[in-house]
Structures are given as C-alpha cells and as structure tokens.
Structure 1
Amino acid sequence: MSGNKRSDIVEAAARIASESGIAAVTVRAVAARAGCGLGTLRHYFPAQHELIDAILPHLLDQQLHDDGIDDTDRPRAARLATLMVQFLPPADDQDGDKMLSFWFEMSASALSVDAAPGATRQLAILTTRSHQRVRQWLRELAPERADDVEWLEDTADGLISLCSGLCLEALTPGSPVTLPRARHLLERAADRAF
C-alpha cells in the first residue's frame, strides 16, 4: 500500500475490477482489500459511482500498453500505429466481432436519449483518458512538437475519431471496411501524423 489511503482504495478497487469485473467492486469488498473501514472508504468516496469513476482511467491504462514506443529502430509512424491499433478490436473474426458489438452497445447506451447518467459519465471518463494517452504518445514520439498544442490536439483527436469511425464502419452491413482493413487504414493515418 502507498500510504495514501485514497490511492490505496483506488488501487484495491482497480485490482478487484481487473480480477472479477466492475460488478464485483462493492464497498465491502474494496474496504476489505484496501484494509480500511467502510467509514474511511465513504469519506473518500461518498457514492459508489464515485469509486467506479475513479478506477476507470486505471482500468483503461491497464489495457493500453506503451510497448515499443522507445524502439528507435522502428520509424515513429510504425510505433504510433502499433499503439493506436489498441483502440481497435483484434482482427480475429469471432473475438473482434464480439468486441465491436460490446463497444457499440456501450456507446449506444451512453449516448441514447434515455441514457443513464452513469453510462454517459463513464464513457466521458474513458474518452478523456483515451485522448490523454494519445497526446502522451505523440509527445514522446515527436518531442520537437510537444509544445505545439494545435498539432497535438488535431492529431490526437483525428486519430481517436478515426478509430471510432472505423469501429462503426466495421459493424455496418455492406461496408468494405473489415477489421484488417480498419487496421490498414489506421496505419496509413499514423504514417501521415508526422
């Protein structure tokens, strides 16, 4: 444990979610794992949704790796493409299709007219963190442009938007965009990022 009780609680909740899913993140389970009382947990997180909201960026970070970002033997566009394809489902038909369906259902439930506020808030948290990670990668891959806010925002926003559009297109009946084609298109966009 870190010595910072709030951080310990978030870390414990993130571990539970990673091991057993978000539904397993209960106040009692987290308090037990963090080694604190219910009152202490409620002091930092008065509502359950506040605890869930706090762990979402951590869960996304666990899914997104930075592997190869420092591999200067590869062109930086290739390294960016490797990082960005993490936002697409695997090209394997069965797993990829399941992940696409899950992505669409999550997005649709958060964006529908009668969306639960929690779903919309959680999608916003994940979206914000995704944009932060892409900006971080771009700063590392192009340190000479790290202070160019317009380039960072345009490039990160464009790449994330492309990923969302490619996922939607890959789901659309009759579209020529398959998951392998989506990966190819994303790689081409990464080539043009610099």
Structure 2
Amino acid sequence: MDEAERQKLSSRDKALLAALEMFEENPAAALSVRAVAARAGISTGSLRHHFPTQRELQDEVLTRIYDRAVPGDRIADTSVPARDRLAGSLGQVLTEIGVGARAREATRRAVEEFVVPEPTEQISATYSAIEQQVRSRVEYWLTVLTNEGALPEGDNTRRARFLLTVLNGLGLERALPAGESVLASETDTLYMAVDCVLNPGRT
C-alpha cells in the first residue's frame, strides 16, 4: 500500500496496519502503544481511543492474521459430515505453513523467536497470545460440533490442546525431509486425531 492510500485510512485502520506490519516483521516484538502509534503516524491518544489496552490491540491483530490465513470458516456447514469439517478446518491451519522450503523457513523463524532466546516475559506473552488465539478458534469449532450433537459433551479445552499438539507435530513434519507423500500421511493423521475426538470409545 502506497502512502496516498495509507493517508485515506481511518486512524483505527492506520493503527491496525502498522501493528500488522510490525508483527509480521517480528512476532516476538511487543506491540507497544507508543511504537505502533509512531509507525502509524497517529497520536497515542487516538490509538488508545480505539484500543484502550495493549492486549486489545494484540488480540485484534492476531484475529486479523488468523482470518487472513484461514478464510471462509465452514465448520457450521451441516451439509458436510462433521468429521470432514473438523479435519478440513484443522488442515487449513497447516496451509499457511506451506511445505518444503516455506515450511522450513516458518519452522526456523519459530525456533529463533521462541525457542533459542531465554523465555523473557515479553516472548512468553507473545507466544501465549498466539497459542491462545489458535486454541480459541479450535475450541470454537468443537463447541459448534458439540451444540449440533456431532461431538459428545466434554472438555473442549483439553480436546483443543490435543488437536493442537497434533498440528504442531504435522507442522514440524512439513519442514523435515519426507520419504513419502507428506500431504497423504498428514491427511491420514488428521483424520485419526479427529476420530479420537469425535469417537473416543471407538479408536
């Protein structure tokens, strides 16, 4: 986006655009009010008007990133079997990682930003916010399926953690040399994980 287009944005959208750019450049960086306002070219008071707390700003940024990575959520489309909807939704989360070189780069960045450094309060808070955002989305999917009767009542937070652990493993596998079709084995693993959640007594 060029400067003329930026100037046409509302102060709220300028703040969001600046925060998104800062986050994409360095996910471990703190989205401080002062830094975001300076980058957006707006006053800190204006930014505070739209986002009273740093957490509200961060949550909005993560929501925008998630929506861009996983557009068109189809979990409520009851014309598709619940098993396929959940597996498809989980598969969409992996889509942003890519495969091969792209997956290796994503893994390298995650390791450099969240594993290699000492876990400072800022790094821990950033990672926790990202993890919470994705987990909340998975919990939402599970809640939709529970409400429609496709998933037995139970601890959806625990189920979401299990499914995210599977996704983390599959994401890492995408970055590693594979002796077989990654996508074929990945789909099989996703359906196995979904079956464990949907039908815990039959697996």
Superposed CA deviations along residues 127-146 of structure 1, whole A, max 9, x for unmatched, are: 01111110111110221488
Does residue 72 (structure 1) correspond to residue 78 (structure 2)? The answer is yes
Report if the CA contact (8 A) 2:142-2:151 is conserved. yes
* Whole-angstrom distance in 1 between the partners of 2:124 and 2:106: 14
Structure number with the higher helix fraction is: 1
* Whole-angstrom distance in 1 between the partners of 2:15 and 2:151: 33
Does residue 84 (structure 1) correspond to residue 84 (structure 2)? The answer is no
Does residue 128 (structure 1) correspond to residue 138 (structure 2)? The answer is no
- Alignment partner, residue 16 of structure 2: 14
**2:40 aligns with one of 5, 10, 30:** 30
Superposed CA deviations along residues 17-68 of structure 1, whole A, max 9, x for unmatched, are: 5579745984234354xxxx33443688799x76863444223332233532
How many percent of aligned residue pairs carry the same amino acid?
20
Q: CA deviation at 1:88?
A: 1.1
Does residue 58 (structure 1) correspond to residue 68 (structure 2)? The answer is no
Report if the CA contact (8 A) 1:111-1:120 is conserved. no
**1:114 aligns with one of 95, 107, 118:** 118
Report if the CA contact (8 A) 2:20-2:61 is conserved. no
- Alignment partner, residue 102 of structure 1: 105
Q: CA deviation at 1:9?
A: 6.4
- In the alignment of these two chains, the number of paired residues is 178
Gaps of 5+ in 2: 1-9, 27-34, 199-203
Q: CA deviation at 1:73?
A: 1.8
Gaps of 5+ in 1: 1-7
Superposed CA deviations along residues 90-125 of structure 1, whole A, max 9, x for unmatched, are: 69xxx5224422331232121224356544322221
Is the deviation greater in 159-168 or in 137-146?
137-146
Superposed CA deviations along residues 135-167 of structure 1, whole A, max 9, x for unmatched, are: 1111102214889452x1232111110000112
The amino acid that maps onto 2:63 is: H
Q: CA deviation at 1:16?
A: 4.5
> Does the residue aligned with 2:99 lie in a helix, a strand or coil?
helix
Report the RMSD for the aligned CA atoms in angstroms: 3.8
Q: CA deviation at 1:174?
A: 5.6
- Alignment partner, residue 137 of structure 1: 141
**1:103/1:90 Cα in 2 relative to 1: closer, same or farther (>3 Å)?**
closer
Does residue 41 (structure 1) correspond to residue 51 (structure 2)? The answer is no
Report if the CA contact (8 A) 2:146-2:153 is conserved. no
